Amino acid sequence: MAGSFNHLKKLRRAGLRGRQWRTRWGFWAVIACAALAAVLLLATTSSPDADVLARVNGEEIRTEDLKALQMRHFGHTRPLGEEQELALFEALLAETLLFQQAEREGYALSPEEAEEEIAAQLASRGYTIDDLKAERERRGLSYERYLEDFRREMAIEAYTDATINVTEEEAREYYDDFAQRYPEADLRPFSMVRASIIAELRERALKDLIEELKQDALIEKFT
């Protein structure tokens, strides 16, 4: 059955009511970069609970949350290098901020709605929620964690897609500006690099968005 569940890894990239959501490690790498640049830490104290790593606007980030993010993006929970672990932690801080804002603006599905969406996607492939639960249990993984991760990622993707809008004109302006600054460069036609430029501009906008969210955030990091 494990082989049959390879499609489950694609669920977070599947369409929600007809739309395509992109879940890529590159997306979270951008978050990590932005968070590492300047995380707003208003308090650094000892936590009364060793498993609590931080609080973001009162929401706890726990060791199990970090391990769950590691499993999602690396497929294991083996010890990481210090730099990787720090980047993962900062990515989790930024993800929490983005989800909180997505929830405030009404982009988050309820757990029941998220489960209905998962069930519909599974049904289209001939599987059921019970199949998913059994497979998660077989691998020693929590279905509840899967459901919550699915819900959070869908909300963040919906929120950022609605908030970050890079137009064709902006991409063309970026291309033309680059051509003017580097006239000696042998540039490929705009049509060939358009998608890459839009992706780059979206990443920049995402970093800016995270920085804006941090301005109003209370982040407590525990040692």
With residue 90 as reference, give the H or E element that holds it.
helix 82-104
- What span, in angstroms and rounded, lies between the C-alpha atoms of 101 and 60? 16
Q: Tell me how far apart the alpha carbons of residues 24 and 104 are, in angstroms, rounded to a whole number.
A: 24
Beta strands 219-222 and 19-20 are unpaired
Q: Edge-to-edge strand order for the sheet containing 59-62?
A: 43-45, 219-222, 52-56, 59-62
Highest mean pLDDT among 38-47, 68-77, 209-218: 209-218
How do residues 194-207 score in pLDDT, each as one tens digit? 999 999 999 999 99
The string of pLDDT tens digits covering residues 93-111 is 999 999 999 999 999 999 9
Q: Return the CATH fold of 3-222.
A: Triger factor/SurA peptide-binding fold (1.10.4030)
How many whole angstroms separate alpha carbon 168 and alpha carbon 207?
Answer: 20
**Contact in structure between 71 and 127 (CB atoms under 8 Å):** no
What confidence tens digit (pLDDT) does each residue in 168-195 have?
A: 999 999 999 999 999 888 899 999 999 9
pLDDT averaged over every residue in the chain: 82
28 and 210 Cβ atoms separated by less than 8 Å: no
Residue 25 pLDDT greater than 70, yes or no: no
Structure tokens at 134: 């059994």
Per-residue pLDDT at 122 exceeds 70: yes
**Who contacts 186 (Cβ-Cβ below 8 Å, separation ≥6)?**
none
Check pLDDT > 90 for residue 31.
no
